[in-house]
Structures are given as structure tokens and as C-alpha cells.
Structure 1
């Protein structure tokens, strides 16, 4: 576990971001809900008060931030010790998984781990069609299709799943070796 900074809870996230970015002389990243201003060794996070209250019924102006390797394991360990949990582990759209707790003085503490945000579904679809139809990479079926995927362009009676779609694409390319599809590359 490593102390990495604090999060200020604010009604005016852009105003606080502009202030601390100017004072610390570094650019901020984020949006009007969650933003960070990082300096060597620590990060100041600024989080919208209304978003905080939507996530958990807490009233706080500051949250201490501790980075952990495994949020879920930390949650289980602390819950077993009887530590008051404010918000169970959740993953936020800005790429942070966290659990919130309160110390004996009532201060909210977040144990978090930064994770990559999920890919944009449009990018996944574009990647699939580019790999399969332009590059003729049949492994795209196994990599990007769900086990119960049903290809509505395949002949009637084609079973669901990546293997059936891969077999259909393989036959399509064998039957039409000159077939060219123009699909722009994924973003």
C-alpha cells in the first residue's frame, strides 16, 4: 500500500483544477467530474461533490488516496477486520477501481488501483472488421467474438460462435479470392 495523494471534493471542479494547475505549475488531466494534477511523488485529485454523493452517501471535503495492488483483496481483508466500508469495490469510467472506507476520525480513505478503461465498443467493431475483412486475419473471430455470437450474414443454419463465423469467412475468402473490402483502420 502506498500513499499517493489526496482528493479534494468540490462543487466547482474546473475552478479548483485551474487554481491548483496554476499554483503547482503543471497541466491537469481529466474532466468536470474527476481531474488530477500530478507532481513528482503525489497526485492531487479533484472530484465533483455531486458525483461523490451518487456513488456513496458520504459528505466529505477531502479523501485520502492509497494505491494498492489488489482492491478486492484489500476490501476482503479490511471487511474481515471490521473496518467501516463506505463503498464496496467498483470500477469507474476514468480507469480507477476503488473501495472507500472511513478512519476512526471519519475521514474517507480510498484504496485504489488504476486500470485501463474499457475499449470503446466502436473501436472493437472497427478492429474486428478491419482484421477479418481487410487483413483476412481469421484469428479476429476467436479474439473478438463472444462464445454465443450469431453471424446474421452467414448462411441460414450456421451455428453460433466464433468457430462457425471463422469457417464461414474462410469459405467466403476461398470462394471469392479477388474479394476486396475497404474498411478504415481502427482508431
Structure 2
């Protein structure tokens, strides 16, 4: 089994795709007006409109109703990302903070309320864990 992507269901796909394009610098690949993907080297963030839910399991997903998943992006310099995003992101959970496991992390919510973590490994152990 190989992990491929995480999909977010939203009522406003244009807004959410634009948000993630802005924070990641990755251009979305649109499959159609109801589905887009932001493909990175190691994973894909898929975004689908609520209209797609009826195609695979009607009523199984509700947009803007998640408080359990954190979408994470590895970045070279979390402090620089914070400076770049501080005027565009509306809902920061914290400022860049060094965590006990060795990552410097910045948490915020996307326009649908999903938690996003951008982080940089800063201790030797964390740097080794994420070396590619």
C-alpha cells in the first residue's frame, strides 16, 4: 500500500484552492470545476467540492467540519514562511514554536477551519528524520 493524498471537501473550491496555492506556491492541477490537486514531491493535497461526495458516498463528508486532522508541510524556513503569510492568513493558532520533538512549527487554520502545520526540523535528530 502506498499513501497518495489527502482530500478536503469544501463548499467553495475556488477559495480553498487559491488559499493553498498561495501558502504553498504550488499551482493546482484542475481535473474539472469540482476537483483540483496540489502535487508536491512527496504527496498530494486534493480538494473536491461538495458535489463530488454524492459520486462516492452521499452524505459521508461535511465541509468545514474537521477538528481532528492536521495538514502538514515541510518547509526550509518556518520563520520566513510566517513572515510571508502573516498578512494573508486570518487564523493563526500559534507563532513559530520549537516543539519537544525537534521541529519548529507554525499552526494556522485554512478558510474552512482545517488545521495546517508548516514546520522545519531544527534539532539534529529531527533533521535526520526528515532528510531525503
For the criterion TM > 0.5, the same-fold answer is no
The structure with higher relative contact order (CA 8 Å, sep 6+) is: 2
More helix by share: 1
Which TM-score band (shorter chain)? 0.3 to 0.5
More strand by share: 2
Determine which structure has more spread, i.e. the larger CA radius of gyration.
Answer: 1
In the superposition, the TM-score normalised over structure 1's length comes to 0.31
